[in-house]
Structure 1
Amino acid sequence: MTVHPSLQSSIDAWTHSIEAIAELVTPLVEGEWSRATDLPGWSVRDVVSHVIGLESEMLGDPRPIHTLPRDLYHVRSESARRMEVQVDVRRHHTAPEMLGELEYTVIRRSRQLRNETRQPDTVVRSALGDERPLDLVLQMRAFDVWVHEQDLRRALGKPGNLDSPGAQVSRDLLLKTLPGVVAKKAQAPADSAVVFDISGPLEFMRTVRIDAEGNGRIDSSVSLGPTVTLAMDWDLFHQLACGRVRPAAVAGHIKIDGDQELAAAILDHFAVTP
């Protein structure tokens, strides 16, 4: 048996991004591993540790037994504590140790994915510890690895891959969150329409339409006379959606036409990742 065709795009996206991460960090000197990223409390080493840790869990490796220090100001929830264990346990690893473990983990995980024979709807344990369909779990891993690739690129001053396979998987996942953001969190009024006009390497336009019952749906057709239009580039869109920047800090890079109050509410609730 071979990999189910509907899973291959997520596997290819994951492979592209994980290999990009390896290429980014392989030439780093020891001090560069400690460079800060946009993630509170996390360095380049910490981001790579997070990726290694979650892929190890996907391989079925046991979670490390480790007690976190009490002074980690950025750890504010139980889910954050769960994530932090895989990071903190590697905080004093040297560059060669990090590279060796990353390479070994990528080899093992790549082999596992090449040999994946389960159906897309098979319920499996995700890296977050819950159970979800296999196709969604693989999409989420491709998304997570691409987003962290971008975290590393910003920290290291090496932009790129904004239109890669991982970027495309990430776009598709983030678009699915927009109806909930607009309709439920921002509470857009009934019978309204919100247009997202995104430029850059991954250009697209989507409209979220709110029906009479307040439910949202998204489509690619152009809305005539939308309630509000938000225009920005793809890099900023994904950073906002992933909570890497605050809307107020990048207000000058977002063009808003229409209902300013609704636009502000949407941007205030735009981040959909922990």
Structure 2
Amino acid sequence: MTVHPSLQPYADAWTHSIEAISELVLPLSEGEWNRATPCPGWSVRDVVSHIIGIECEQLGDPRPIHTLPRDLRHVVDEFTRYMEVQVDVRRHHTAPEMTSELEYTIIRRQRQLRNEKRDPATLVRGPLGDQVPLEFALRLRAFDVWMHEQDLRAALGVPGNWDSPGAYVARDILLAGLAKVVAKEAGAPPNSAVVLDVHGELEFMRTVRVDAQGHGTLDKAPSLGPAVTLAMDWQTYVRLAAGRVRPHTVADRVKAEGDPALAEAILTRFAVTP
């Protein structure tokens, strides 16, 4: 049990997902580590390398001194360059090397979380080396490992844990970006509303309300006359909001009612993760 209860849900979600990942990859053959995942340019090995690398950074380990090859097409900006270093440095590691480093990293991180005595507002290293509150950092780690657990499950054909503790963390993080997508990026008109209706393993309904100044807010109350209603299953919502699929590839899984132009604009800009 961590000292601060506000950290516990994220620690529990992180633990559930990281242990599921360990169970998934432990029996893999060398060839299976090379399977492509929904993350552009990343194999199973690359996703696990990313997880190991970021968790090591949370432990305070120095980042590797490593020069990236110039032919990595999925490395397109500062964020992807930063993330790729921890991946590329492990790109030729064998299956036993990967699983042993993952296990050792998990043990170290679990010990760190068990002994965590810092205030949740304490500044720690964030995703790009910047300083963020400890609670926010752990929340991001819970989301990231659950999302990558799903990437690995998709690559390996082993579905599961769509309603695990990490799924609830992911729901809240992905929903946090919805108001901006609707109001600013898709340009929903002032004094309008857009409803998102999600069913499946996690069921919820949210409404984005755009005020007279064009500012969007998210709430749980239904709207009687929304400009657009988007209905989809939970798995499709996650894949769209996390940028794992493009809208046209899951058009048969999304039901859009209302203004077709606005619905298309929202779906085109639906992804809220980097």
| In 2: Cα distance, 1:173 partner to 1:70 partner | 33
8 Å CA contact retained: 1:50, 1:87: yes
In the alignment, residue 175 of structure 1 is paired with which amino acid? L
Aligned positions of 1:1-274 closer than 5 A:
2-274=2-274
| In 2: Cα distance, 1:144 partner to 1:102 partner | 15
| In 2: Cα distance, 1:210 partner to 1:135 partner | 30
**Offset, 1:127:** 3.1
TM-score by length of 2: 0.98
| In 1: Cα distance, 2:132 partner to 2:212 partner | 32
Q: After alignment, is 174-183 or 9-18 more displaced?
A: 174-183
TM-score by length of 1: 0.98
Q: What SS does the aligned partner of 2:176 have? A: helix
Q: What SS does the aligned partner of 1:128 have? A: coil
| In 2: Cα distance, 1:197 partner to 1:142 partner | 24
| In 2: Cα distance, 1:140 partner to 1:31 partner | 30
Q: After the TM superposition, which parts of structure 1 deviate over 6 Å for at least 4 consecutive aligned residues?
A: none
8 Å CA contact retained: 1:228, 1:259: yes
Name stretches of at least 5 consecutive residues in structure 2 with no aligned partner: none
| In 2: Cα distance, 1:125 partner to 1:91 partner | 24
- Deviation digits for residues 248-273 of structure 1 (CA, Å, limit 9, x no counterpart): 11111100010111111111111111
Q: After alignment, is 122-131 or 50-59 more displaced?
A: 122-131
- Deviation digits for residues 84-141 of structure 1 (CA, Å, limit 9, x no counterpart): 1100110110000000000000000111111111222222221321111211111111
Q: What SS does the aligned partner of 2:169 have? A: helix
In the alignment, residue 150 of structure 1 is paired with which amino acid? Q
| In 1: Cα distance, 2:53 partner to 2:137 partner | 16
Q: After alignment, is 121-130 or 167-176 more displaced?
A: 121-130
Q: After alignment, is 190-199 or 131-140 more displaced?
A: 131-140
**Relative to structure 1, is the Cα distance of residues 89 and 59 closer, same or farther in structure 2, using a 3 angstrom cutoff?**
same
**Offset, 1:171:** 0.4
- Deviation digits for residues 188-219 of structure 1 (CA, Å, limit 9, x no counterpart): 11110000000100110000101111111111
**Relative to structure 1, is the Cα distance of residues 24 and 2 closer, same or farther in structure 2, using a 3 angstrom cutoff?**
closer
- Deviation digits for residues 217-241 of structure 1 (CA, Å, limit 9, x no counterpart): 1111111111100000111101111
8 Å CA contact retained: 1:59, 1:109: yes
In the alignment, residue 155 of structure 1 is paired with which amino acid? A
Q: What SS does the aligned partner of 1:155 have? A: helix
| In 2: Cα distance, 1:253 partner to 1:96 partner | 39
In the alignment, residue 18 of structure 1 is paired with which amino acid? I
8 Å CA contact retained: 2:2, 2:8: no
| In 2: Cα distance, 1:151 partner to 1:176 partner | 21
- Deviation digits for residues 155-180 of structure 1 (CA, Å, limit 9, x no counterpart): 00000000000000010111111111
In the alignment, residue 173 of structure 2 is paired with which amino acid? L
| In 2: Cα distance, 1:92 partner to 1:124 partner | 30
8 Å CA contact retained: 1:58, 1:127: no
- Deviation digits for residues 23-55 of structure 1 (CA, Å, limit 9, x no counterpart): 100111111000111111110000000000000
Question: How large is the RMSD of aligned CA atoms in angstroms?
Answer: 1.0
In the alignment, residue 110 of structure 2 is paired with which amino acid? S
Identity rate of aligned residues, in percent?
Answer: 70
| In 1: Cα distance, 2:187 partner to 2:115 partner | 45
Q: After alignment, is 124-133 or 160-169 more displaced?
A: 124-133
Q: What SS does the aligned partner of 2:184 have? A: helix
Q: What SS does the aligned partner of 1:207 have? A: strand
